[in-house]
Structure 1
């Protein structure tokens, strides 16, 4: 029924906004900038909850064999790169700037598909991708609060996200469901982030973190892990009930809402040229969604 689809979309939007706001609070307000530990905690909780829900029969998950898991490992590596770099960049950049750069992941997907297929694409889709690219490239030149490290990690994040999107489309395994793919992602993340925790200095830094024994810090970290898991479930629910174009529309709406609300909770210092880059990037997203809708009509 139509109202159920709207309810799922609204639920997705609420969880999406709450997840990013909670992560932003931990990374920027509390300044817990140790992504191997923060993301390792989230993915560990996510993996445990998937197993628990599977054992209780709340989620359908089959036994994952080595032969089915190995082909998915490249996607897991891209997933780890995405969440690690995303955590680094979100700690330094405001949410509008972060989303604007994240939108450029569609440019990466476009280029990979262009090189792979070599087919001529509609002018509107090409225009939308160019607009996304120009917005992202112009943003560092316009941003008065330019943070070199934040932008560098944002480029890594959008590259991994764009490649992961293509990998999801072209790796359609009949042996792995979306939940099982995510479970492999979680396990790979926990392993790789645990290995990287000491060389990056995150363990020693976390031991000196001033809010380490703070009740607020513990509550927010638990909330971030639970929200990340809920976002996974509601995203899968959304994709199963709506077309890709409608799903992207809900993601777009969620991003716009988050950007509109973030000045109420966080300090957002953005000048007019940067704001124009943000607006043009999201205009490019609208054009991209419309071009794909026309292409499937």
Structure 2
């Protein structure tokens, strides 16, 4: 059993790292900076594959009432904000910086829960999220290639991620399974991003994209959509097979691998101060994983 769980974690980490690298390649190397189309394509393929998998009985997606869908729509809106702003930020920021800012979403989650539900937080967890926030705030002060637009989109992204994490903890979210929530997210995203493609100028910009007929572009887009779907399945399987604190440890490992392997794949320029911010964020997340594990053992 431990070997099986370890294999599942390794599979999850592999899909996680390769998925982010593929998205980064399409967004930054090929410079396909049209998130309504890029994310619309990914959610369309993901929703289609999820629907087919459900029909074939490969995954369990039950018929759910319309009231459950309506109650989940705010979560879907946060999901769209997450993927849209995330694409904007990832296209302009190196992966280590992106993840350092992304990790600050834990501070947003804790803050919202503290203000709305008066949730008690251990000193260890509180110190860990403070480390995550300090590392994120320190980044723009030390980044030699500071990109204001990239940081703004990253802030929108981490805010949506933090809010989405809180929304998942509400009682109404229990009416849908993780796969059903994601299925609703996919359907809502496709509709919203399709309507937004023309007003944002992405549709016209994509028609003039120089790599539109390139096999590298088509291969990258197809790979990103498929990898996103497999990452979803691996994530759901991981969450159903392991305790929450163990899942957090695997997610942490996946982020660390993506962060420290990315300089070998992409051209990244960082200074010592920026590197210290990234390391501080890693330490804060490691402490957060430890605090969650300690809390679960009580």
Would you call these one fold, judging by a TM-score over 0.5?
yes
1:1-297 matches, within 5 Å, as 1-171=1-171, 173-297=173-297
Q: 1:139 & 1:62 partners in 2: Cα distance?
A: 44
Shift of 1:64: 3.0
Shift of 1:121: 2.3
Instruction: Give TM-score scaled by structure 1 length.
Output: 0.98
What count of residue pairs does the alignment treat as equivalent? 297
Q: 1:72 & 1:236 partners in 2: Cα distance?
A: 18
Q: 2:145 & 2:173 partners in 1: Cα distance?
A: 44
Deviations 1:221-279 (A, max 9, x none): 00000000000000000000111111111111111111221112101111110110000
Gaps of 5+ in 2: none
Q: 1:40 & 1:51 partners in 2: Cα distance?
A: 16
Asked if structure 1 preserves the Cα contact closer than 8 Å seen for 2:125 and 2:288, the reply is: yes
Secondary structure of 1:210's match?
Answer: coil
Gaps of 5+ in 1: none
Q: 1:48 & 1:271 partners in 2: Cα distance?
A: 43
Shift of 1:182: 0.4
| Aligned structure 1 segments of 4 or more residues deviating by more than 6 angstroms | none
Shift of 1:171: 3.6
Q: 1:175 & 1:295 partners in 2: Cα distance?
A: 26
Q: 1:165 & 1:120 partners in 2: Cα distance?
A: 17
Shift of 1:173: 4.1
Q: 1:120 to 1:52 in 2, by over 3 A?
A: closer
Q: 2:119 & 2:199 partners in 1: Cα distance?
A: 44
Q: 1:175 & 1:85 partners in 2: Cα distance?
A: 27
Shift of 1:117: 2.6
Asked if structure 1 preserves the Cα contact closer than 8 Å seen for 2:92 and 2:150, the reply is: yes
Q: 1:247 & 1:38 partners in 2: Cα distance?
A: 28
Secondary structure of 1:145's match?
Answer: coil
Shift of 1:118: 2.3
Deviations 1:152-184 (A, max 9, x none): 000000000001011111245453211111000
Shift of 1:185: 0.1
Q: 1:54 & 1:79 partners in 2: Cα distance?
A: 22
Q: 2:109 & 2:81 partners in 1: Cα distance?
A: 16
Greater shift in the superposed pair: 121-130 or 143-152: 121-130
